Amino acid sequence: MEFSAKELAVILKGTVDGDDKATARRFAKIENGKPGDLCFYANPKYEHYVYTTTASLLLVNKDFEPKEKVAPTMIRVENAYAALAELLKYVASHRNKGKIRRYRAWTATYYLSTKFGKKVYVGQHSHVGRHTVVGDCTRIMENVTVGDHCKIGKNCIFYPGVRIYPGMVIGDNVIIHSNAVIGADGFGNVPQPDGSWVKIEHLGNVVIGNDVEIGPGTTIGRSEMESTLIGNGVKIDSLCVIGHNVQIGDHTAIAGGTGIAGSAKIGKYCIIAGQVGISGHLSIADHTTIGPQAGIIGSITEEGRTVLGSPAIDARQYFRSYAVFRKGGK
């Protein structure tokens, strides 16, 4: 959908600061904004992007006072985050309007819209959606659901009970174990003055690279806009939670029970042990090693570090501190 600044101001009950004829047709994160994009600014951590983005439109709080020149046309609203949620809900409702279709299983129209490569196996009680492409030699085992408009690579294996939501992109040689869920909505909600929460619609997807393995029961959330990204060669163990908008670099290994909150960026060749918790909107440098049950509450900017503890600190400092702790009370 394409919006003008004037239309958005009406929909969101805001005011236009700039060219009211400026238009946008895509949603994007503020750090990735380009001409034709609509972005939003609500978190002070991202203020520097306000002055560098080339997006066409920018949602901001009405009391925001820029310190430098802002290129996009701003739509000033009471609460930019809440306004984004309202707008995403509006777009989702219009996307889905009039698109409900009913097909008897594997009718000709349904079947011909789905493209299977050579030597594809689809097990009993599995469903592959409309306009989905499945690469050569991929095996979709029993009781698997693959949604509409997905792109599945070659030589993949989806074990029983896997759920892949519509619009996902999965590379070659990917193994997804039983009961993993790829593409459910992220945990995005806007707090209201009365203490209740309003759900934010998620219109993005998940993009998984080549040679990835995902353990049973792991969930990877789709992004609010753009994509949650899993790089090539990433290995994710059982019962992990990867939040919306997360980016995981190539060849990173993540052990079981780890949770990564939304919009965190994990570097390449990292090792993340079991039951680690990583807060949202953080950056983890390449070649970082994180010990078991560590809690990461700040970005790690130096490559090659090993951290332990909760909150996590440098491993050498941790062991010195632990020695003192053990002697305490004796």
Query: Would you name the residues annotated as active-site residues?
Result: 244
Question: What is the separation, in whole angstroms, between the first and last Cα of the chain?
Answer: 68
Helices within 164-230 (DSSP H only): none
Amino acid, single-letter form, for residue 18:
G
What is d(CA 113, CA 12) in angstroms, rounded to the nearest whole number? 38
Looking only at the bridges linking them, the beta strands covering 227-230 and 241-242 are unpaired
Beta bridge partners of 189: 199
What is d(CA 166, CA 159) in angstroms, rounded to the nearest whole number? 18
Amino acid, single-letter form, for residue 189:
N
Of the candidates 246, 248, 298, the one whose C-alpha atom is nearest the C-alpha of residue 268 is 248
**Backbone φ, ψ for residue 116 (5° rounding):** -110, 135
Q: Residue 64: left (phi > 0), alpha (psi -120 to 50), or beta? A: beta
Number of other CB atoms surrounding residue 103 within 10 Å: 12
Tally the residues of the chain: 330
Residue whose tokens read 């939304």: 262
Strand order in the sheet with 306-308: 121-122, 139-140, 157-158, 175-176, 213-214, 235-236, 253-254, 271-272, 289-290, 306-308, 313-314
Q: Element (H or E) spanning 315, and its range? A: helix 315-327
Of the candidates 136, 163, 134, the one whose C-alpha atom is nearest the C-alpha of residue 149 is 134
Beta bridge partners of 127: 145
